[in-house]
Structures are given as structure tokens and as C-alpha cells.
């Protein structure tokens, strides 16, 4: 009888022990799953960087498919496959900048020659210089530039987006933007414009000592009524929209796959170089950093388009006041400085609340370190630099 009792006790103890083992195993599995979830990187924030704008660069699994595996975490150094995938995006950006430069330059030369040939046929008695002066002062040259850059900027934007798998609709899905923010950004950009003007003047003073004039003289360009209207349309509407589509729409997103800070600086450099001269480079570079920042913050090019239109329009209006009488010019200058001071405050407030994305150690291995190995990316940079030097020395 005692043997049966001992057997029942042992069975009960064994059952209780098995149940306890089962519960412990279950808890251990749950803990392992929780740990795996914690160590698995977010595809929209693969580097766990709280200073970046989550999701702006897209799903990182397109670059590193293993990111979707449970427990996988990106290594400090990217492997060969990941480097190749990142470099592909940098190359896409580089190719599009090369295409844009060659297409716009080539088209301008071809159509200029065609127009000059037609004018020479219509006015055989006129000399080459006279015909060119006519093109320069009328609406012809401005209209030509407008059409060429409109087509080239838009075409290369969509080529790049198609190539990189970026939906065009994603460029305008604006987040947390308001009229108040638009006013803040426009005033901040106005301050950047004023700073760049004075910086460009100082740089020109230095270069002028060596016989080099860095300032661009466009007096007389499109001075006819139709030329003036065409200039306004091109400068204040067409250029801001198409440039934002190209630089902050396509290029910024293509270069933001692994390092947003690198993308901001790189697009600002390309944006500055695309203007072909030092004064506009300074403005475009400084403004380009700000425009890229607000584009990332609001996940849309709408804010940057608004600010770009404002800056170009203000610059055009203020330039026209240079021919006004002294009283009007003095009053406009005082108003400009007052607005610039307010803009400086707006810019400080913005950067106080929105720091530029920082770079983690992992991202530092995936930015310029990989971009410098992309032949199209480096070639695009060299071409733009060479053209600026040529334009500077040929004045």
C-alpha cells in the first residue's frame, strides 16, 4: 500500500516539475522573442538615429534585405552587397546630374545656333554681334533658357525617381505644415539671402585684387517688355518649381538612403555648383541646406518650393529698386534689414527646435566613404566644378 502511495506522490511531483519546466520554457521563449524584437532594426530607421527624419529615405530593406530577419542588426561596416546597393543610389544621383548638365548645355548650344542661323537668314545685313545683342535684350534668350531648363530639370527628375523606385506622389505628401511655418521659413531664407549677398561682395573684393571679377553682370538681359515678363515667369515660377523637383525632390531622396546629413550637404553643393558662379553658389549652397532640412522635416517639396519662389521673387523686386530714387532705395534697404533681423530670429528658432540630422558611426561608413567610390557621383561633381572654374576665368 505504501508503494502505491509513494508512486502517486512521485507522479504528482513529476507532473508538477514538468509543468514548472514548461512554464519556465514558455517564459524564456517569450523573453527571447522580446529581445529579438528589440535588436531587430526598424526598416524606416535602420540606424536607430533619433536626429533623423524617420522614413524619409524609404525602406532600408531594399538595400539590406536581411534587415527584415528577426534579430538582425546592421553591422558597423557594410558588407559588399550593402555597399553595392548604396553605391547604386549614389550613382543614380550622379548620372542624373551629368545628364542634366549635358542635356541643358547641349540643348542651349544647339538651339542658340539654330536661332542665330534663322536670324542671319532673315537679316543678312546684320552682323553676328548685332544679332546676339538682339537675342540678349529681347525675350529670345530668356525664353530659350526657360524652356531648356524646364524640360531638362523635369525630365531628369522623373528619370531619377523611376530609376530609384521613388513615387512622384510621395514628394508632395506634406506633414505638419502651416501658413505660420511658411512665413517663418520665408523670413529665415531672406536672412540667408542677405548674408550671402554680403559674403559674395567680400569674396569679389578679394578676387578683384587678382584681376578676377566673380560678380555676374546680366544688365540688359531681356530688357524688352516681353523679355521682362518672360524673366519674371522663369525666375519666380518655373525655376523654383523645377529646381526643387530636381534637387530636393529626386536628388535628396536618392542620396538619403543611408545618411541624411550627407544628403543635405551633397545636394546643397550640387545646387550651388549648378548656378555656375560664386555669388549664386553661396546663396544656393546656404539656402540649399535650409531647403533640404525643411523638405525632410515636412516630407515634401511643397515648403521648399514656396520658400524658393519667395526668395527669387524678392530678389527680382529688390534688384529692380536699384534704379529707383535715393529715398525709395533707402527706405527699401531699411525695411530689408528689419526683415533680415526678424529672419535671423526665425532661423535661430527653427534650428533650436530642429537640429540638422547627426551621423552615427555606422552611417559615417555609408556616406562619403561609399559615394567617393561611385564614378558617376564623383564625375558629376568634377564636371560642375570644372565648368564653374571655366566660367570664372573666362570673364
- pTM of the shown model: 0.87
Give the residues of the chain that fall short of pLDDT 70. 1-20, 22-40, 322-324, 395
Q: In which residue are the cell numbers 529615405 written?
A: 57
What's 245's DSSP letter?
I
262/370 Cα distance (integer angstroms): 11
Distance CA 290, CA 69 (A): 37
Predicted confidence at residue 36, as pLDDT, reads 45
Alpha helices, DSSP H, located in the chain? 2-39, 80-122, 128-137, 140-164, 179-208, 225-233, 239-243, 252-255, 260-273, 278-298, 302-320, 326-353, 361-364, 368-371, 375-393
Which pLDDT score is estimated for 33? 54
pLDDT given at position 292: 98
Amino acid at each position: 500500500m505504501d508503494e502505491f502511495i509513494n508512486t502517486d506522490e512521485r507522479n504528482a511531483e513529476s507532473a508538477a516539475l514538468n509543468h514548472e519546466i514548461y512554464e519556465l520554457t514558455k517564459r524564456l521563449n517569450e523573453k527571447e522573442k522580446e529581445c529579438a524584437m528589440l535588436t531587430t532594426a526598424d526598416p524606416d530607421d535602420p540606424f536607430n538615429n533619433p536626429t533623423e527624419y524617420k522614413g524619409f529615405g524609404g525602406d532600408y530593406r531594399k538595400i539590406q534585405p536581411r534587415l527584415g530577419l528577426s534579430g538582425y542588426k546592421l553591422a558597423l561596416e557594410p558588407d559588399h552587397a550593402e555597399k553595392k546597393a548604396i553605391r547604386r543610389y549614389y550613382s543614380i544621383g550622379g548620372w542624373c546630374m551629368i545628364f542634366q548638365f549635358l542635356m541643358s548645355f547641349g540643348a542651349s548650344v544647339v538651339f542658340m545656333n539654330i536661332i542665330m542661323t534663322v536670324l542671319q537668314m532673315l537679316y543678312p545685313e546684320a552682323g553676328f554681334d548685332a544679332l546676339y545683342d538682339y537675342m540678349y535684350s529681347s525675350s529670345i534668350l530668356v525664353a530659350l533658357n526657360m524652356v531648356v531648363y524646364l524640360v531638362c530639370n523635369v525630365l531628369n527628375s522623373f528619370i531619377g525617381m523611376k530609376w530609384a523606385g521613388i513615387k512622384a506622389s510621395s514628394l508632395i505628401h506634406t506633414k505638419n505644415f502651416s501658413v505660420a511655418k511658411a512665413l517663418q521659413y520665408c523670413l529665415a531664407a531672406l536672412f540667408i539671402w542677405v548674408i550671402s549677398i554680403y559674403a559674395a561682395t567680400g569674396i569679389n573684393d578679394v578676387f578683384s585684387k587678382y584681376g578676377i571679377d566673380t560678380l555676374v553682370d546680366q544688365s540688359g538681359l531681356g530688357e524688352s517688355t516681353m523679355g521682362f515678363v518672360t524673366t519674371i515667369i522663369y525666375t519666380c515660377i518655373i525655376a523654383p518649381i523645377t529646381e526643387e523637383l530636381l534637387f530636393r525632390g529626386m536628388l535628396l531622396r536618392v542620396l538619403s538612403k543611408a545618411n541624411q546629413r550627407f544628403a543635405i550637404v551633397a545636394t546643397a553643393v550640387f545646387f550651388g555648383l549648378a548656378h555656375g558662379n560664386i555669388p549664386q553658389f553661396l546663396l544656393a549652397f546656404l539656402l540649399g541646406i535650409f531647403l533640404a532640412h525643411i523638405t525632410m522635416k515636412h516630407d515634401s517639396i511643397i515648403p521648399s518650393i514656396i520658400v524658393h519662389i519667395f526668395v527669387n521673387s524678392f530678389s527680382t523686386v529688390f534688384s529692380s529698386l536699384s534704379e529707383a530714387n535715393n529715398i525709395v532705395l533707402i527706405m527699401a534697404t531699411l525695411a530689408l534689414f528689419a526683415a533680415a533681423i526678424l529672419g535671423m530670429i526665425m532661423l535661430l528658432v527653427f534650428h533650436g527646435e530642429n537640429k540638422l540630422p547627426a551621423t552615427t558611426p555606422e552611417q559615417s561608413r555609408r556616406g562619403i566613404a561609399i559615394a567617393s567610390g561611385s564614378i558617376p557621383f564623383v564625375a558629376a561633381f568634377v564636371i560642375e566644378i570644372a565648368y564653374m572654374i571655366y566660367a570664372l576665368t573666362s570673364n
